[in-house]
Structure 1
Amino acid sequence: MSEHSRESVAGRAKAGLDRVDAVQREHKSLSVPVAVVRKFLEDQSTNLASMIAFWAFFSIFPLFLVLITLLGFFVPDNPKTDVLGHVGQMFPLLDPATMQGFGGSVWALVLGLVTALWSGLAVVRATQTAFNSVWELPFHARPSLPEQIGRSVLVLVTIGLGLVVSTLISGFVSSGTDLLNLGWLGRILGYAVAIVLDIGLFVAAFRILTDREVSTRDVLPGAVLSGVLFWVLQTLSSLIISRYLQNAQSTYGTFATVITLLWWFYLQSIITLLGAQLNVVLKDRLHPRALVGAPETDADHRAYESYAEERAYHEQERVDTEFPPEQRG
Structure 2
Amino acid sequence: MNPVERFLRVVDRAQQHHTPLAVPVGVMKKYGDDRGGLLAALITYYGFVALVPLLLLLSTALGFVLHGHPDAQQAVVDSALSDFPIIGDQLRQNVHSVQGSGPALVVGVLGLLYGALGIAQVLQHAMAEVWNVRGVERPGYWPRLVRSLLLFAALAAGLLLATAAAALVGTALSGLFARIGALVLSAVLNAALLLVCFRILTPADVPTRALTPGCAVAGPLFTLLQAFGAVLVTHQLRHATAVYGFFATVIGLLSWLYLAAQITVCAAETNVVLHRRLWPRSLLQPPLTGADEEVLEAVARQEERRPEQRVDVVFTDEVEDKDEDKDEDDAAGPDRRGRTRHGAGGSGP
TM-score of the superposed pair, with normalisation by structure 2: 0.75
CA contact (8 A) 2:199 2:211 kept: yes
**Counterparts of 1:81 and 1:196 in 2: how far apart (Å)?**
32
1:98: Cα distance to partner? Answer: 5.1
1:154 is the counterpart of 2:146? no
**Counterparts of 2:146 and 2:308 in 1: how far apart (Å)?**
27
Q: What is the one-letter code of the residue matched to 1:218?
A: A
Of 130-139 and 256-265, the range deviating more from structure 2 = 256-265
Residue among 257, 261, 281 paired with 2:249: 257
Cross-structure match for 2:116: 120
**Gaps spanning 5+ residues in structure 2: where?**
67-71, 320-349
1:288: Cα distance to partner? Answer: 0.7
TM-score of the superposed pair, with normalisation by structure 1: 0.79
Cross-structure match for 2:306: 314
CA contact (8 A) 2:133 2:302 kept: yes
Look up the SS of the partner of 2:315 in the other structure. coil
Residue among 13, 20, 24 paired with 1:29: 20
Residue among 219, 222, 234 paired with 1:230: 222
Task: Report the structure number with the largest CA radius of gyration.
Answer: 2
Cross-structure match for 2:49: 58
Cross-structure match for 1:276: 268
Cross-structure match for 1:298: 290
1:192 is the counterpart of 2:184? yes
1:19 is the counterpart of 2:15? no
CA contact (8 A) 2:87 2:246 kept: no
1:216 is the counterpart of 2:212? no
Cα gap change, 1:234 to 1:56, in 2 (>3 Å): same
Cα gap change, 1:310 to 1:39, in 2 (>3 Å): same
Percent of aligned positions with the same letter in both sequences? 33
Q: What is the one-letter code of the residue matched to 2:306?
A: H
Look up the SS of the partner of 2:312 in the other structure. coil
Q: What is the one-letter code of the residue matched to 2:131?
A: W
**Counterparts of 2:175 and 2:190 in 1: how far apart (Å)?**
23
Q: What is the one-letter code of the residue matched to 2:30?
A: K
1:128: Cα distance to partner? Answer: 0.8
1:145 is the counterpart of 2:141? yes
1:237-252 equivalences in 2 (<5 Å): 237-248=229-240, 250-252=242-244
Look up the SS of the partner of 1:156 in the other structure. helix
Q: What is the one-letter code of the residue matched to 2:115?
A: S
**Counterparts of 1:184 and 1:80 in 2: how far apart (Å)?**
28
1:95: Cα distance to partner? Answer: 3.9
Cα gap change, 1:221 to 1:33, in 2 (>3 Å): same
Look up the SS of the partner of 2:257 in the other structure. helix
Cα gap change, 1:79 to 1:38, in 2 (>3 Å): farther
Look up the SS of the partner of 2:202 in the other structure. coil
1:56-85 alpha-carbon deviations (Å, 9 max, x no partner): 0011234445667889979xx799799857
Of 105-114 and 280-289, the range deviating more from structure 2 = 105-114
**Counterparts of 2:44 and 2:4 in 1: how far apart (Å)?**
39
1:127-142 equivalences in 2 (<5 Å): 127-142=123-138
Q: Output the aligned Cα RMSD.
A: 3.7
1:36: Cα distance to partner? Answer: 0.6
**Counterparts of 1:288 and 1:102 in 2: how far apart (Å)?**
59
1:74-89 equivalences in 2 (<5 Å): 88=84
Look up the SS of the partner of 1:214 in the other structure. coil
CA contact (8 A) 2:44 2:257 kept: yes
Cross-structure match for 2:334: none
**Counterparts of 2:168 and 2:235 in 1: how far apart (Å)?**
19
**Counterparts of 1:312 and 1:20 in 2: how far apart (Å)?**
36
**Counterparts of 2:168 and 2:101 in 1: how far apart (Å)?**
27
**Counterparts of 1:63 and 1:96 in 2: how far apart (Å)?**
20
**Counterparts of 1:320 and 1:37 in 2: how far apart (Å)?**
26
**Gaps spanning 5+ residues in structure 1: where?**
1-6
Cross-structure match for 1:3: none
**Counterparts of 2:165 and 2:263 in 1: how far apart (Å)?**
21
1:276: Cα distance to partner? Answer: 0.6
**Counterparts of 1:30 and 1:86 in 2: how far apart (Å)?**
45
Look up the SS of the partner of 1:319 in the other structure. strand
1:201: Cα distance to partner? Answer: 1.4
CA contact (8 A) 2:77 2:97 kept: no
Q: What is the one-letter code of the residue matched to 1:146?
A: W
Cross-structure match for 1:166: 162
1:105-137 alpha-carbon deviations (Å, 9 max, x no partner): 797888756643332111111111111111111
